[in-house]
Structure 1
Amino acid sequence: MELTFVLVAFVFGLALKITGFPPLIGFLMAGFTLNFLGYEATPSLEVLAELGITLMLFTIGLKLNIRDLYKKEVWLGSVTHSLLWITVVNIIVTALAWFGLSAFSDLDYIDITLLAFALSFSSTVCIVKILEDSGEIKTRHGKVAIGILVMQDIFAVLFMVVATGKIPSVWAPLLLLLYFAKPLFKKSLEIVGHGELLPLCGFLLAIGGYELFELVGIKGDLGALVIGMFWAPHNKAAELSKSLMSFKDLFLIGFFLNIGFTALPTLDLVLTALLLCLFIPIKFILFFRLFTWLKLRARTSYLASLVLSNYSEFGLIVVALLVSNGVLEAKWLVTLALALSFSFLVTGLLYRSSHNQYNRFKHYLKVFERPDRLAEDTYVQPKDAEVLVLGMGRVGKGAYSSLNNILGAKVWGMDADPARIAKLQKAGLQVLVGDGEDIDLWDNIDLANIRLILLALPSIEDICNITEQLQHANYQGKIASIARYEDEIQALLDAGSDKVFNFFTEAGTGFAEESLQLLEPSNSL
């Protein structure tokens, strides 16, 4: 990749970050700027873009429980939404063409249907990036959104098979034999340890899965996702995902730059792309009403619908195939690339304040809730709780154990990941599933007797949001939080934390205090 690409991407990404916008929007702008200046995508950039998507799908798989796809809100929601969306877009575009709008006048019914299908997908790259940055990928709404994305990816793969006539090889069923190789791979993953071999092993699994599926005539991206799901139950899955995070984020910059290199837009194409973006609220409304109809709570429905309200890179792939087959004109590839970029911008901006938006409109949104609740959406009251630990990762679990030794049953733990909570409950810990950024949760929990809440979360934005939700819920106790960096401490104090612990400094202090107990007289020989 040329130094100019890296420099321009950095400048635009930094500028957007300074102004409070997601850097990925800057990377998109950098791509169009480089294209305008006369640069062209290089083979190395395209390789990095493909590798970034492969790693992203693999890490999604590592965090995905296949049982989530069996849930009605996922499979029925995705299928129904696609059918409704295609129908509604067909009606709108046909009406626009009938009224003489030139952008759509040369499209027949089949063309419109295929274009609507391409626009039905939501962006895996954009959504996963947003959810990861906000620490919400394992929340209820995050898992619903990821489940919908996986279903859409399956739809895309099936369409590619039909459209290209590329039928999977007769050897494809042999992929099922991978299940019997699981003990061997499990042992290998344990042997590699925690150093540089771990991310290398991740690269091998992701790229190997991609190439293996391509070898038998199945889209390689699906292979990376499936192999990731294959390893999701492994106890090192989370560590493996974290080891790949920096590589994935770096390589995905190539993907965003690549979009800008698609073609130089004309004014007509920009206006058509903006018109397509006016359809996005329809996508949001359809998702929201479907989710509430399927008994999801209003908050879960709102947040999942909001993050899914964009266009997808898979739509670009579908349109590129239609253009190559002569079904659509080449201008639609540029138009969709622009619409995709604009939709990323809209989602990135709106989701930053999504929790405050829900708090503002929740009384109107709750009107659409069904009276009966799914089992996963019921609230559990922490009985006799005086101390609550939010975030039951390594730090939170350690804090819970120490406090439990002192206060016993007065200490409860909370985490948004149901799988983690299930394991902890099985181990005998007093914990419950809950998303700390959910104002409805705090409104339904009796906070009167809770004197202290510990926020053991990795994201400063999450901690600040939870602190704000607790203030809205009129919580009167104390709040302690964790900071990873020195410059985060004052921001957390300003947000409302009563005490902030620097993770690395306090870990050293705790280690020293625990070690000094070895020198006490009762421990001497």
Structure 2
Amino acid sequence: MVEPLLVLMAFAIGFIFRHLGMPPLLGYLLAGFVAGVAKLGEFEQIQLYADLGVLLLLFTIGLKLNFKQLAAAKVWGTTLAHTLIVVPLTALMLLSLPLFLSSVGAMDFQSAAMLGFALSFSSTVFAVKIFDERGEASSLHARIAIGILVMQDLLAVLYLVGSADYLPSPWALCLLGLPLLRPLLQRLLEMAGHGELLLLFGFGLAMGAGSLFEALHLKAGLGALCIGALLAGGNKSNELYKSLGPLKDLLLTAFFLSVGYYGLPSGDMIVVALLLSALVFLRPLIYFLVLVAFRLRVRTSLLAGVGLFTYSEFGLIVAALAVQAGKLEPEWLTTLAVAMALSLFIAAPFNTRIHSLYARFASRLQKLESQQLHAEEKQVDLGAAEIVVFGMGRIGSGAYEFLNQRYPGLVVGVEEDADKANRLLQQGVKCCQGDVSDRDFLERAKLGGRRLILVCLSNHSENVQVVKFLNKVGFSGKLAAISRFPDHELELRELGCVSFNLYAEAGHGFAEHVLEELGECQTSVR
């Protein structure tokens, strides 16, 4: 059983960080260090929950995976360019440590290069959680960042296979036949319904795939990623993704707690951890410059690069293997744990304030943009539409259909997922691709002459951000936004926005619909 005091401490410190405007995960990290020093709880049990959280994370990434995106040069090219720059820089710093810290033993080039490679990866857990919290999981910059993370995971698997004392089982070749199971898995997913069976199906599938890959001497996370990818693009893959979200987030709390249990290194090694954490500032800069070179807008490049700010949990895995093989002193493991934790503390405030930081320096940064932007960064034309629907999910699509019946040709939808926007276009829906949380997009979209804008995004903070910006630029039309809780509804109304509380109004809408149907029936009887 997990120590109740540890759970309460994680909640309390996470709660404090949340109210300080910081991500709660920083509180979990701090709670983990306190618990590790106090020897509170059992590390093996917490590590088990952490492993399950990472497994579910990779499975849900697979559910959203788009292989066409991974094949794009901006994804694999940025991954390789970053690796080729960061590994030598980190190795050089590690090799030069004895010149400044006499107590730190000299390191051979192979060990330094190995640690440099491990520290070149970014944290998948951190990036995905940050994008989810900001409601940007489907945005272009998030898709690019996640594509880079997946490419890094693949490089990690190749490294683990190459450095292991054993090769994958010959039976691993049978895994090439997994795509043949896609129709069966899709069918089972359809039959699982919408309740706990759906949750059990996804959880069991992720665990089963992980166990299968481990039995064949492959990485369990790779199995979860692959089996999730087999379900990607299906009718219920998005519902499964949302269903697993709360469980995944709860288990990932254990991952952040587990980092602190590696303990604190000696004084000199803490200095090494501080030097490594200082080196992390180069990472978003490198990502940014490489992505800009691929003709992406500076905003897209900046948000993707800052999302990839941190060191990865993979560094701890590589260090642990090296310690077991006798290639590294055990103290290096705790040093990397502290460096990773510090990188998370550094990255979190930047990611929390990245939109305001971009707004402040946008005019200077935009001078770096290519004159011929990437096709996915093309200008958006909303035409002569008087009514614009931001977000074409279930609510937005329903609002579009209703309004288009009354004002045909005068309604347009905006959807940040390019594939979904194209599907809607093929279905005859007037829709364009665009990220409405993007200040640049809102400025270029020429919204001044529009009569009504409906903000139907899934994330409340993103809804508020969009409404605030439209107010700031002096939008003179009517604004409406969806909400789910009374305090959210009040906040939107105070911004001068018509707010529709989905939960509060659901009963009213249901009753109204029933009366309309009964009225039609009575009329037909007469």
* Same fold at TM > 0.5: yes
Q: How does 1:191-206 map to 2 (within 5 A)?
A: 191-206=191-206
Instruction: Write the distance in 2 (CA, Å) between the matches of 1:116 and 1:321.
Output: 15
Which residue number in structure 1 is paired with residue 66 of structure 2?
65
Which residue number in structure 2 is paired with residue 516 of structure 1?
515
User: In the alignment, is the contact (CA less than 8 A) between 2:82 and 2:286 conserved in 1?
Assistant: yes
Which residue number in structure 2 is paired with residue 15 of structure 1?
16
Change (3 A) 1:213 1:497: farther
Which residue number in structure 2 is paired with residue 170 of structure 1?
170
Residue 319 (structure 1) shift: 1.2
User: In the alignment, is the contact (CA less than 8 A) between 1:41 and 1:261 conserved in 2?
Assistant: no
Which residue number in structure 2 is paired with residue 46 of structure 1?
47
Q: Secondary structure at the match of 1:371?
A: coil
Residue 194 (structure 1) shift: 0.6
Instruction: Write the distance in 2 (CA, Å) between the matches of 1:404 and 1:111.
Output: 64
Residue 231 (structure 1) shift: 0.6
Instruction: Write the distance in 1 (CA, Å) between the matches of 2:482 and 2:269.
Output: 48
Which residue number in structure 2 is paired with residue 245 of structure 1?
245
User: In the alignment, is the contact (CA less than 8 A) between 1:355 and 1:437 conserved in 2?
Assistant: no
Residue 47 (structure 1) shift: 1.4
Which residue number in structure 1 is paired with residue 116 of structure 2?
116
Letter in 1 for 2:184: L
Q: Does 1:436 align with 2:433?
A: no
Change (3 A) 1:384 1:210: same
Q: Deviations over 1:318-365 (max 9, x none)?
A: 111112112222111111111111111222211111111111111221
Q: Secondary structure at the match of 1:379?
A: coil
Instruction: Write the distance in 1 (CA, Å) between the matches of 2:417 and 2:129.
Output: 18
Letter in 2 for 1:391: G
Structure 2 alignment gaps of length 5 or more: none
Which residue number in structure 1 is paired with residue 505 of structure 2?
506
Q: Secondary structure at the match of 1:409?
A: coil
Which residue number in structure 2 is paired with residue 288 of structure 1?
288
User: In the alignment, is the contact (CA less than 8 A) between 1:168 and 1:218 conserved in 2?
Assistant: yes
Which residue number in structure 2 is paired with residue 132 of structure 1?
132
Q: Does 1:84 align with 2:85?
A: yes
Q: Secondary structure at the match of 1:482?
A: strand
Q: Deviations over 1:8-48 (max 9, x none)?
A: 21121112112221111111111111112232534322211
Which residue number in structure 1 is paired with residue 457 of structure 2?
457
Which residue number in structure 2 is paired with residue 24 of structure 1?
25
Q: Percent identity?
A: 40
Which residue number in structure 2 is paired with residue 314 of structure 1?
314
Letter in 1 for 2:384: D
Q: Secondary structure at the match of 1:43?
A: helix
Instruction: Write the distance in 2 (CA, Å) between the matches of 1:523 and 1:304.
Output: 58
**TM (normalized to structure 1)?**
0.96
Which residue number in structure 1 is paired with residue 230 of structure 2?
230
Instruction: Write the distance in 2 (CA, Å) between the matches of 1:302 and 1:404.
Output: 37
Q: Deviations over 1:225-271 (max 9, x none)?
A: 11111111111001111111111111111111111111234433333
Q: Secondary structure at the match of 1:278?
A: helix
Q: Secondary structure at the match of 1:171?
A: helix
User: In the alignment, is the contact (CA less than 8 A) between 1:458 and 1:484 conserved in 2?
Assistant: no
Letter in 1 for 2:300: T
User: In the alignment, is the contact (CA less than 8 A) between 1:49 and 1:253 conserved in 2?
Assistant: yes
Deviates more, 1:473-482 or 1:210-219: 473-482
Q: How does 1:337-356 map to 2 (within 5 A)?
A: 337-356=337-356
User: In the alignment, is the contact (CA less than 8 A) between 2:65 and 2:232 conserved in 1?
Assistant: yes
User: In the alignment, is the contact (CA less than 8 A) between 1:385 and 1:449 conserved in 2?
Assistant: no
Which residue number in structure 2 is paired with residue 368 of structure 1?
368
Q: Secondary structure at the match of 2:480?
A: strand
Change (3 A) 1:53 1:290: same
Q: Deviations over 1:467-507 (max 9, x none)?
A: 2332344422221111111121122233x342111111223
User: In the alignment, is the contact (CA less than 8 A) between 1:288 and 1:302 conserved in 2?
Assistant: yes
Which residue number in structure 1 is paired with residue 36 of structure 2?
35
What value does the CA root-mean-square deviation take over the aligned residues?
A: 1.7
Instruction: Give aligned pairs, total.
Output: 523
Instruction: Write the distance in 2 (CA, Å) between the matches of 1:55 and 1:319.
Output: 23
Letter in 1 for 2:394: R
Deviates more, 1:79-88 or 1:297-306: 79-88
Deviates more, 1:67-76 or 1:367-376: 367-376
Structure 1 alignment gaps of length 5 or more: none
Instruction: Write the distance in 1 (CA, Å) between the matches of 2:211 and 2:407.
Output: 54
Q: Secondary structure at the match of 1:227?
A: helix
Q: Deviations over 1:33-73 (max 9, x none)?
A: 11122325343222111111101110111111111100101
Instruction: Write the distance in 2 (CA, Å) between the matches of 1:75 and 1:509.
Output: 50
Instruction: Write the distance in 2 (CA, Å) between the matches of 1:512 and 1:471.
Output: 35
Instruction: Write the distance in 2 (CA, Å) between the matches of 1:317 and 1:263.
Output: 16
Instruction: Write the distance in 1 (CA, Å) between the matches of 2:137 and 2:427.
Output: 24
Letter in 2 for 1:452: L
Letter in 1 for 2:36: N
Letter in 2 for 1:175: L
Change (3 A) 1:328 1:43: closer
Which residue number in structure 2 is paired with residue 219 of structure 1?
219
Letter in 1 for 2:118: A
Deviates more, 1:150-159 or 1:364-373: 364-373
